[in-house]
């Protein structure tokens, strides 16, 4: 009997150590973009509904590079419409070319989502950054949820990080909040997950636009690449990420654990700005997608304003009016760009009027630059006019 128990234990150990898990290989990606980006994107998105297809928006004449380009990476089960019109408003404000990509398997049906892999999304990320480099002399990557996970990993990647000048991480998915999510990275998950959690996973959209912009019903195995990706990102060393980073989140997020994102912020190698949010009653009930007119319309303006102020302060970006007045801005010399450790905290709420809380002292904070308009910290108070703006194995909504 003892030998049998020992044998079973050894078999179980072998299955645990050598059983199949979701592959996570972040290998270098060679991206070869043609000269005609519009034609390339049209061909790539053929067969995808226009409202959820990747989009390239030129600030002026097509093909003309701008000082700043903005790249947006959406979250799991969402689409390029997820945060709209935040990226579009930022691009218009700064006269920036904009690329809103579509991650593989998204904007389609559940079967397409189930066919996507970690490698697919990593290639999508590398491709989006390469497009951003073609569009602008400086590239800012904005990501929401799992899109923020991809942006953070790209920032610390030796190759991809060189093409990124700043990142905005909204509701970063570095740890799902539901109990038991660690099981998603166990061996043989593709076999046992459908038997435990059911073959299909669905959630109820809040509106027709929500239903159109999200994949609301998909095979449960679709979440496995995302879970593997998140586990890999959570264990990463972000000291190599030297770009300025803006972390935006809601403490009441019911989908991901904000504490995990704060640990990433603490280990970030470049200047960090933190902006906790308190969405209002008309915004995302799960407090996860905390901007965008489809899910959180009340926070679209405040989030856009915070990112715009951060761009002015951290990247010395001029708004469109300032560019016209001065004839545009030249990219700063990266060889002399300060990389001091900086942590600043802002607070935005959709709650009742009240005083704007004072900002804590930053660690190595440098003064906000004034050449691009209002400095970030003074503008926050004037922008809000002295008031504060205001699931189980798998959570009810996935990032």
**In the structure encoding, which two tokens stand for residue 142, read together?**
């904005």
Cα 131 to chain centroid distance, Å, stands at 17
- d(CA 153, CA 121) in angstroms, rounded, equals 12
* Phi, then psi, of 319 in degrees rounded to 5: -70, 170
Query: Within its chain, how far is the Cα of 178 from the centroid?
Result: 20
Whether 28 contacts 41, CB under 8 Å: no
Measured distance CA(25)–CA(12) in Å, rounded:
26
Question: What per-residue confidence (pLDDT) applies to 20?
Answer: 54
pLDDT at position 182: 73
Q: What is the pLDDT along the chain (399 residues), one digit of tens a residue?
A: 675 555 545 544 444 444 555 666 777 888 899 999 999 999 999 999 999 999 999 999 999 999 999 999 999 999 999 999 999 999 999 999 999 999 999 999 899 999 899 999 999 999 999 999 999 999 999 999 999 999 999 999 999 999 999 999 999 999 998 777 777 766 666 777 777 888 888 989 999 999 999 999 999 888 888 888 888 888 899 999 999 999 999 999 999 999 999 999 999 999 999 999 999 999 999 999 999 999 999 999 999 999 999 999 998 876 654 454 333 443 333 333 333 344 555 555 444 333 333 333 333 333 333 333 333 333 333 233 222 333 234 454 556
Look at residue 102 in the predicted model and tell me its pLDDT: 98
Is residue 140 a contact partner of residue 69, using CB atoms and an 8 Å limit? yes
Residue 398: predicted pLDDT: 57
Contact present, 359 and 344 (Cβ < 8 Å): yes
Question: Residue 319's pLDDT is what?
Answer: 61
> At 53, phi and psi to the nearest 5?
-80, 160
The C-alpha atoms of residue 136 and residue 149 are separated, in whole angstroms, by 23
Return d(Cα 199, Cα 397) in angstroms, integer.
Answer: 16
pLDDT at 335: 35
Element (H, E) at 29: none
Spell out the domains of the chain, with CATH numbers in brackets.
38-329+338-384 (3.40.50.1820)
- Angle of helix 37-44 relative to helix 118-135, nearest 10 degrees, comes to 160
Q: What integer pLDDT is reported at residue 196 of this predicted model?
A: 82
The pLDDT, as a whole number, for residue 12 is: 44
At residue 27, the pLDDT reads 74
Q: Which residue has the tokens 């926050």?
A: 380
Question: pTM score > 0.85 for this model?
Answer: no
Q: What is the pLDDT of residue 376?
A: 33
b/e code 257-280 from CB counts within 10 Å (16+ = b): bbebbbebbeebbbbbbbbbbbbe
Check: CB of residue 376 under 8 Å from CB of residue 313.
yes
Exposure string over 6-44, b if 16+ CB within 10 A, otherwise e: eeeeeeeeeeeeeeeebebebeebeeeeeeebeeebeee
Under DSSP, is residue 10 helix (H, G, I), strand (E, B) or coil?
Answer: helix
């Amino acid at each position: 009997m003892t030998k049998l128990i020992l044998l079973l234990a050894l078999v179980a150990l072998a299955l645990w150590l050598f059983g199949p898990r979701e592959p996570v290989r972040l290998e270098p990606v060679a991206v070869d973009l043609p000269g005609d980006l519009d034609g390339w994107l049209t061909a790539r998105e053929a067969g995808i509904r226009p409202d959820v297809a990747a989009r390239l928006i030129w600030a002026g004449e097509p093909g003309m590079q701008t000082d700043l380009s903005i790249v947006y990476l959406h979250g799991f089960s969402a689409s390029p419409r997820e945060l709209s019109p935040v990226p579009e408003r930022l691009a218009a404000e700064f006269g920036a070319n904009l690329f809103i990509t579509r991650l593989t398997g998204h904007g389609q049906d559940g079967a397409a989502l189930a066919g996507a892999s970690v490698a697919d999304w990593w290639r999508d990320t590398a491709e989006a950054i390469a497009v951003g480099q073609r569009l602008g002399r400086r590239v800012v990557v904005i990501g929401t949820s799992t899109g923020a996970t991809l942006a953070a990993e790209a920032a610390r990647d030796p190759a991809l990080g060189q093409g990124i000048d700043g990142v905005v991480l909204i509701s970063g998915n570095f740890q799902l909040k539901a109990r038991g999510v660690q099981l998603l990275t166990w061996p043989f998950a593709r076999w046992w997950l459908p038997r435990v959690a059911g073959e299909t996973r669905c959630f109820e959209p809040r509106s027709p636009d929500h239903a159109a912009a999200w994949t609301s019903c998909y095979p449960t195995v679709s979440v496995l690449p995302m879970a593997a990706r998140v586990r890999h990102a959570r264990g990463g060393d972000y000291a190599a990420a030297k770009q300025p980073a803006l972390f935006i989140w809601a403490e009441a997020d019911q989908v991901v654990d904000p504490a995990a994102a704060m640990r990433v912020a603490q280990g970030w190698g470049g200047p960090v700005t933190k902006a906790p949010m308190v969405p209002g009653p008309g915004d995302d009930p799960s407090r996860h997608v905390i901007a965008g007119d489809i899910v959180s319309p009340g926070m679209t303006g405040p989030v856009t304003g915070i990112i715009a102020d951060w761009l002015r302060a951290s990247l010395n970006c001029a708004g469109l009016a300032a560019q016209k007045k001065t004839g545009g801005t030249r990219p700063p010399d990266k060889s002399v760009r300060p990389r001091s450790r900086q942590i600043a905290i802002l607070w935005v709420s959709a709650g009742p009027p009240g005083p704007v809380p004072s900002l804590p002292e930053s660690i190595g904070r440098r003064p906000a630059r004034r050449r691009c308009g209002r400095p970030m910290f003074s503008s926050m108070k004037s922008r809000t006019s002295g008031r504060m703006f205001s699931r189980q194995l798998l959570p009810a909504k996935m990032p």
